Each structure stands twice: as structure tokens, then as C-alpha cells.
A and B are shown apart, each in its own frame.
Chain A
Amino acid sequence: DVKVTQSSRYLVKRTGEKVFLECVQDMDHENMFWYRQDPGLGLRLIYFSYDVKMKEKGDIPEGYSVSREKKERFSLILESASTNQTSMYLCASSLPGYNEKLFFGSGTQLSVL
């Protein structure tokens, strides 16, 4: 089975801190994604990547950046965390091509105080 691992289950940071959320997948998937999930809003796509060193903005990229230096790892970076970035962050990966299944990690609940 595909495994998508997110480095932390819970994270508490202070306003203004730089935050790194790490995601690693073990099935050699080309595609990787970062979503955030908020009550009443569903999942919203932040950034995605179709290959190493490649990134594309999703629906809500403001305040975030990403890094994909290796195929198996996709990092989400909050340059200066703010309280409105308190959320559940979900990483996913998939094979290339259309309509491939997304495989999700268990999520990181980030609280910014």
C-alpha cells in the first residue's frame, strides 16, 4: 500500500515564526499536493507539484511556498505564520496522468498562537 507520511500530527507555533510541514511518500509518485481543511470550507488546494523542482499554485497559495528537491518529499513552508493559518494540513500524492487516485497522509493540525 502507498504510504504518505506527514512529519507531525500536531504542531503549535507562534505568530511570525517560519514553519515547515514535511510530507514523504514511498511509492515513487510524480504528483504531490498540499491542501488545507477548515470546518465548513472543505479541502482547498494550496500548491501542487508534478515533478522535482516543479510547483504550481493551487486555489489559495497566498502566505505559503513549497519545495520539492527530491521526488519523495514535498515541503510546505509558512514564511511568517499568522493566526489565520491555523488549520488541518493534508498532503497527497498520485501517479501521473489524469484521474489517478490521490493518496492522503493523516494530516497535521497546525495551531498558530
Chain B
Amino acid sequence: DAKTTQPNSMESNEEEPVHLPCNHSTISGTDYIHWYRQLPSQGPEYVIHGLTSNVNNRMASLAIAEDRKSSTLILHRATLRDAAVYYCILSSGANNLFFGTGTRLTVIP
């Protein structure tokens, strides 16, 4: 499975946008980009996924670079409840996703 690289941690002020980066330089043409997040004392939860085009849903937006070697998860207005570990994952089609160590997002009131 192709791997991803994310910063270990990031901070954001409450009510400001957050851009969480992910590098995946070895991505293949059929790999989807998935994002999950894990709130304290909970299991991971799905956030968003995409292949080539940018994607939006009620939780976040996913911006995918034209060469697909990087992507950015955008939280439009961070709240304290968004404090979590965010995982960027590549899927080659199977459902057994490889979770790395993710980015720990701290939201400052």
C-alpha cells in the first residue's frame, strides 16, 4: 500500500479555518484518498474521501492537487469539538485501510 506523510501535530484557533496537509507522492492512479478522525476515547470516524476532484460534505472539504501527490483536508471553521487525530489514508480498493499515526489537531479557544 502506498503511504502518506502528515505533520505530527497542528494548532488552530477556534472559529478559524484549518488546512491539514497530506503528502502521498507514491499514489497510484486507482488510489482513493480517505480522511478519518479520532476524537478522544473514541474509535475513528469517517470524514471524507475522493479520487481526483475536490470534494465537499457537511464535515469538511478535500482539496486534491492536480498531480494527486498531495491533498488537504479543510475544516472551514474549527470548533473545540474538532480537536482530534486526523488520518490521511490511501486505499487501493480493498477495505483494509492502512492508518498511520495521523496529525493531532489542537483547537485553541
Enumerate chain A interface residues (CB-CB to B < 8 A): 4, 31, 33, 35, 40-45, 48, 58, 90-92, 94, 98-107
Contacts and interface: CB of A to CB of B under 8 A. Distances in A.
Secondary structure of the B contact surface, majority rule = loop
Contacts of B95: 31, 33, 48, 94, 98-100, 102
B100 interface: yes
Interface in B78-108: 87, 91, 93-102
22 contacts: A31-B95, A33-B95, A33-B96, A35-B99, A42-B87, A42-B99, A42-B102, A90-B43, A90-B44, A98-B32, A98-B91, A98-B93, A99-B34, A99-B91, A99-B93, A99-B95, A100-B95, A102-B97, A104-B45, A106-B42, A107-B41, A107-B43
Contacts of B36: 102
A17 to B, nearest CB: 25
B44 A104 contact: yes
A99 B32 contact: yes
Contacts of B42: 104, 106-107
A105 B94 CA distance: 20
B96 A58 contact: yes
Contacts of B98: 45
Contacts of B94: 98
